[in-house]
Amino acid sequence: MDYIAPFQTYHVPNYHIILNTIPKFREGTVVNFDVNSVDDCLLRHLGHEEERIKNKEKNLRNPFIWFRWGFQEILSIPIYFLGWFGIFNSRTIERITNNIIFKLFSGIIALVIFISSIVTIIQGKEATIEYLHHFIGK
């Protein structure tokens, strides 16, 4: 936050209110404005964390998201191997696996495999094998 100390004329941009207020408690120089500002910051942070928890709980109940996460993990195995051998560092691996293109690619693959498994269940094994022979050209 932008901070102007009480009864002072200086202005501090990007002031870390929580980190700078804790020592004031020990020194006994804390003012009500600082305490109220810290309280507001912590309440906002708690609200933000509660929203994140609600979103994560929704994701835990959704099997399609599990399916997508599973395929992201399966597709990231070669990337993790490259990291284990020292070719990629952990930061590069994190950037690759959190990339929107990687997530989109894994989501498309998960959707295609999900649809193909539904088709296999509906058509049966024999029709699927016949289709694959026809598709491959045998």
- ∠ CA 41-46-47, nearest 5°, is 100
Q: Give the Cα separation of 116 and 122 in Å (integer).
A: 10
Give pLDDT, residue 138.
64
3-state secondary structure 24-69: HHHHCCCCHHHHHHHHHHHHHHHHHHHHHHHHHHHHHCCHHHHHHH
Element (H, E) at 12: strand 11-12
Instruction: Judge whether 96 and 79 are in contact, CB under 8 Å.
Output: yes
Give pLDDT, residue 29.
86
Give pLDDT, residue 64.
81
**pTM for this model (two decimals):** 0.52
Averaged pLDDT score across all residues of the chain:
86
Q: Give the Cα separation of 47 and 30 in Å (integer).
A: 25
Using the CB atoms, write b or e for 23-34: b if 16+ within 10 Å: eeeeeeeeeeeb
